[in-house]
Structure 1
Amino acid sequence: MATWWKRANQNRASAVGLVKHAEGWAIAKVSLCEQQGWKLDSYRWLVSSGSLNDDRKSLQLMVKSMGLKGLPCHYVLADEDYQLFPMESPGLKGEELVQAMGWQIKDLLPYPVQDAVVDVFQVPQSSAKAGKAMINVVATPQQQVLDIAAELKEVGLRLESVDISELALGSVMRMSGAHPRGEALAILHAGRGELLMFSQGQLAMSRKFDLAYQAGIDDPLPSDQLLLELQRTLDYYERQLGQLPPAKIRIAGKHLHESKLDETFKQALNTPIELLRLEAPWLAYQDEAEGEFSALLATGGALRGLLASGALQLPQALHEKGAA
């Protein structure tokens, strides 16, 4: 079942990213284009009616109206649908590594490891403590993946891969001007936050923390608390993992806009802070509360599909920036 995490090595002109939350579905179509390398063709947020049958019918109509039928779909799991464990690598490779790490995390899972889909993502060597190679192990229930595949087939989509939010968002950053030295992405939700550290285009570290932020339109950021959590993570990242400090921290989340980030906050750390923005033309999409952040996840899922298939390359400007 671990093959669900692998990407087919075929060139694609378009890809679909899909995210499902309790509140609804987010779906994005991304295509290649000569001018910018890629573009977001369309995005929709479908609010859940509370009925599985009604939601499936609505999604089926949406797939048809957006012209997505038959396209490869890259599904991004919601945070609550998987577990991510940073661990030391035993030095194995391929399926042997996946099987070994599956048994190593078996006591950490809330279900039998035999019922899990497990895969491993490498951590950049520069972030390995005391010279020991580190890896990220991700697990999700096998039945959940089977249910996703069946549901998408029913609405006219072809499941090509299953992804996690950390890696989908990493693709968004890479395709929106990420600095080669590495960046951090702070994701803010109601009551909690997460800081993702990226190095060499790969996820190096992920840390979750509580946050007194309700994510409403007019709710101010708890600046002091957020800055403290960011600084704690940066200190650990540099001192314990031996990693270079990120070039910048970008922030994404529900109901985040420029007015919530004043200049004092943006310059409070040695690392600049800014909102995460895509350098691609966005089509108008609905402004439902959850839809704003889910747009990034769905777009990231589609981008990772195109990047992994070899159909999309990093912008040349990023390579030039790294050489400067």
Structure 2
Amino acid sequence: MESGWMAFSFQPDGLNYVHLRRGRDGRPEATHFGWRQLSAGEQEGFRKLSRELFASRFPSILVLGSDEYQLLSMEAPKVPREERKTAMRWKIRDMIDYRIDDATFDMLEIPADPAQPFRDPQIYAVIAKNEILSERMALFARAEIPLSVIDIPEMAQRNLAGFFEAESKALAMLSFGIHKVLLTITSEGQFYLSRHIDIARISLQDREEAVRLDAFERLTLELQRSLDHFEHQYNHIALDRLMLGPLPGVEDLSDHLVRNLQIPVEKTDLEKWIDFTSTPELAEPEWQARCWLSLGAALREAEP
């Protein structure tokens, strides 16, 4: 099996994929990428793509869609760490609308404030229906693709945010999906907060200035609320800046956010961090926007 990760992400407009491996200069190197108008139910098309990519060579990651899992914030159960997951099961069953036996869940611990050691720790529970996970695993198995990891968008974006984080400070990052905007806040590789904001990419790109500005205003308001919540909840970490993922055809959003937010706003530039020599089109904003989550997921460090 070859080195590096092949990451796949089903989005409303189709399937995108990216393969990254460690390059000669130490940076991740993008060797394969692409997009196909495929849904998760199109078995034959996925099998054909697998053959074209010789995808059986690579350990693979699937990034779940935002409607395929839940991310719930809660206080950690007051039990020893080794018993925490079992205790969480009882809390989660009252927070979902289906049987806990029909779900798979994992947890993400939120780092505690060192100045408040007695404060109850917070965790995120990541929950997905077994039915969805089984369908995705079967899809990959029939296409003879070795699926090693099922990930979520927040973790993929966390990987990308790591390029831009300042020591001991928090970084906010926005990416622009077809139907939703994803906000994450991370610090030193640790995940603290996320929000899926119901603003479609097309409204931010609209040629009509009034439509575009209305979307800008709605996004700004949601960002202000989320950033204020973070600063209140985690006041021991200074928020350094907001990074904007690629948004083709939109030049005025960053200026709008600079005028309305209290933190610096910058656009991401991945060419410093990822080698696109073999895949020059992936250095373009249009392709990065489409493959954003696959790029982030493929940055996963530990290989199977």
User: Considering the TM-score relative to the shorter chain, is it more than 0.5?
Assistant: yes
- 1:224: Cα distance to partner? 2.9
- 1:203: Cα distance to partner? 1.2
Q: What is the aligned-residue RMSD (CA, Å)?
A: 3.2
Matched with 1:120 is: 107
Matched with 2:21 is: 31
Matched with 2:274 is: 280
Where 1:247 maps in the other structure, the secondary structure is: strand
Indicate yes or no: 2:235 matched with 1:242: yes
Task: Give the TM-score, by structure 2 length.
Answer: 0.83
The answer to whether the 8 Å contact 1:187/1:251 transfers is yes
The answer to whether the 8 Å contact 1:36/1:280 transfers is no
The answer to whether the 8 Å contact 2:205/2:250 transfers is no
* Matching residue within 283, 295, 299 for 1:299: 295
Where 2:77 maps in the other structure, the secondary structure is: coil
Where 1:81 maps in the other structure, the secondary structure is: coil
The answer to whether the 8 Å contact 2:5/2:59 transfers is yes
- Relative to structure 1, the CA distance from residue 262 to residue 209 in structure 2 (aligned partners, 3 Å threshold; closer, same or farther) is closer
* Matching residue within 160, 169, 192 for 2:157: 169
Distance 1:78 1:263 in 2: 30
Distance 1:117 1:292 in 2: 31
Distance 1:123 1:273 in 2: 25
Matched with 1:61 is: 51
Indicate yes or no: 2:224 matched with 1:231: yes
Where 1:259 maps in the other structure, the secondary structure is: coil
Deviations 1:232-286 (A, max 9, x none): 2111111234342321111236x44562335353354221112233232332448
- Relative to structure 1, the CA distance from residue 93 to residue 151 in structure 2 (aligned partners, 3 Å threshold; closer, same or farther) is farther
- Bigger mean CA deviation after superposition, 102-111 or 185-194: 185-194
Distance 1:149 1:50 in 2: 11
Distance 2:126 2:221 in 1: 28
Deviations 1:109-134 (A, max 9, x none): 23211011110011121398982210
Distance 2:80 2:29 in 1: 36
* Matching residue within 38, 42, 58 for 1:48: 38
Distance 1:159 1:93 in 2: 32
Task: Give the TM-score, by structure 1 length.
Answer: 0.78
The answer to whether the 8 Å contact 2:181/2:200 transfers is no
Q: What are the residue-to-residue correspondences of 1:1-324 with 2, within 5 Å?
A: 13-48=3-38, 52-64=42-54, 68-92=55-79, 96-126=83-113, 131-174=119-162, 176-180=163-167, 181-189=169-177, 192-211=180-199, 214-215=202-203, 217-219=205-207, 220=212, 222-252=215-245, 255-257=247-249, 259-263=251-255, 265-278=257-270, 279-282=273-276, 283-285=279-281, 292-304=288-300, 307-309=301-303
Distance 1:145 1:276 in 2: 32
- Relative to structure 1, the CA distance from residue 274 to residue 151 in structure 2 (aligned partners, 3 Å threshold; closer, same or farther) is same
Matched with 1:314 is: none
Distance 1:290 1:23 in 2: 14
- 1:146: Cα distance to partner? 2.2
The answer to whether the 8 Å contact 2:165/2:187 transfers is no
Deviations 1:145-185 (A, max 9, x none): 222222112223111111110011100121x3322312011
- Relative to structure 1, the CA distance from residue 160 to residue 218 in structure 2 (aligned partners, 3 Å threshold; closer, same or farther) is same
Which structure is richer in relative contact order (CA contacts within 8 A, separation 6 or more)?
Answer: 1
The answer to whether the 8 Å contact 1:189/1:214 transfers is no
Distance 1:60 1:36 in 2: 28
The answer to whether the 8 Å contact 1:26/1:43 transfers is yes
Distance 2:188 2:144 in 1: 36
The answer to whether the 8 Å contact 1:14/1:71 transfers is yes
Gaps of at least 5 residues in structure 1 are: 1-10, 311-324
Where 2:51 maps in the other structure, the secondary structure is: helix
- 1:204: Cα distance to partner? 0.5
